[in-house]
Every structure is written in structure tokens, then in C-alpha cells.
Amino acid sequence: MSCPRTTNAATNALLMMLALVCAGTAIGAAVMQEAPAAPEPPQGIAATVDQLAFISGDWQLTMGDDLLDEQWSEPSGDCLMGSFRWMKKDGLVWMYEFLTMRNENDGVTMRFRHFDGELTAWEEKTEPLALRLVELSERRAAFQHYSGDGDPWTMVFHRVDDEGLTISLVGSGEDESAGQAFAYRRRSDS
């Protein structure tokens, strides 16, 4: 007795679907095995937040018609705390940041989050941006980003004089002068 033709067609269709699922699983497994591992965090340097006191202050910058404010507390306990506000020319806040620098693992880690003007977070709830202190001198500190979501980048704090703090964002392989620099001055009414 032979099976009806429709059963063979249905069986063939099921076998074809099963073959595609198996092939997809095999390809997916191969891709997963070939995916590069997330980069390791940079090797931080031995330091404490007390050595970063030169960043503390109330800083302001006018960029075109926009006003940028950044404040950093004095070191206290195991951290420094910072806040940032970017106001557009119409007086509306475009972005806030909340930042910390903490003593961790024999070095300093900086973490921060971005928020829009209504305090809606840009980053995922459990994933603030994280940077590790990799260079430090009397008036300069460099933190390297290490989340693994792209090329590493560095944030450099440079106290240029008693009244100025420049914060530069430098891409992987870029010279510091090629990065985006924010040249703050001490807020005059502070």
C-alpha cells in the first residue's frame, strides 16, 4: 500500500523545514564560535580619587549659542561626584549627565549616564558607561572606556590653569588634539 501523494508533499515540506532549522542552528553555532571576545578592561593604574582633586569645581562653557555647565565635588570618602547640563539657545535642557569617580580595585573607575531634558536615561538601566583611570599626572587624568560596544575611546581631564579645565574625548588611535575638546572656565559667580 502506498501513501497518498499529499502525504508525501507534506512530509517533504516538513523534512525541508527541519533541514533548514538544522542548517540555521549549525550556522548560528559557527558564527557564535567565531565572534571575537569582548575586550578586557584596560589595565588601570594605582591611584585614589584624592589625587583627582584638581578636577573639582564649577565649570562653564559657551559653545555657539549653547551653554554647558559641569560641576565636580571635592573628593570625599571613596568618590568624587559630578553633574553636567547642556542647554540649547532656547534655554531648554538638551542633556544631563550624572558622573562618579570611585576607588575600585586599586585604581579609579568613572561611571556616568546620560539623560534627556525629561530625565529619560539614554543607557540601559544596568549599564552605565564605565571608564578606567589609565594615566595620571599633577594636572591631567585620562580614563579609557571599556564596555566592548565599539572602538575604545578616552576622556582626558586637563587642568590648564587655575581658572580652566579642558575635557577631551579622544577616539582610538587619535592624537588628543584631534578629539573633541570642551574648554571650560571656572564659573565667575561661584
The residue ranges of DSSP E strands in the chain, in sequence order, are: 57-63, 66-72, 79-87, 93-104, 107-115, 129-137, 140-145, 153-161, 164-171, 180-186
Strand partners, 137: 140
What's the predicted TM-score (pTM) here?
0.75
pLDDT tens digits, residue range 101-123?
Answer: 999 988 999 999 999 999 999 98
Residue 42 lies in a domain: no
- The confidence band for 68, taking pLDDT boundaries of 50, 70 and 90, is very high
Q: Does one domain contain both 11 and 69?
A: no
Residue found under cell 538638551: 94
Are 161 and 120 found together in one domain?
yes
Both 130 and 164 in one domain: the answer is: yes
Residues 134 and 69 both lie in one domain: yes
Residue 149's pLDDT is what?
A: 62
Give me 173's grid cell. 588611535
Q: What is the pLDDT of residues 6-56, one digit of tens each?
A: 444 443 443 344 343 344 434 344 434 454 454 555 678 999 999 999 999
Residues 94 and 124 reside in one and the same domain:
yes
Claim to verify: residue 115 and residue 178 sit in the same structural domain: yes
Q: Looking up cell 568613572, which residue turns up? A: 110
Residue 65 lies in a domain: yes
Q: Do 19 and 91 belong to one domain?
A: no
Could you list the residue range(s) of the whole structural domain that residue 16 is in?
A: 1-35
Give the count of domains, the chain: 2
**Is position 40 within any domain?**
no
Do 21 and 91 share a domain, yes or no?
no
Q: Is the domain of 92 the same as that of 4?
A: no
- pLDDT tens-digit series, residues 128-181: 899 999 999 999 999 999 766 667 889 999 999 999 999 999 887 666 666 789
Residue 79 lies in a domain: yes
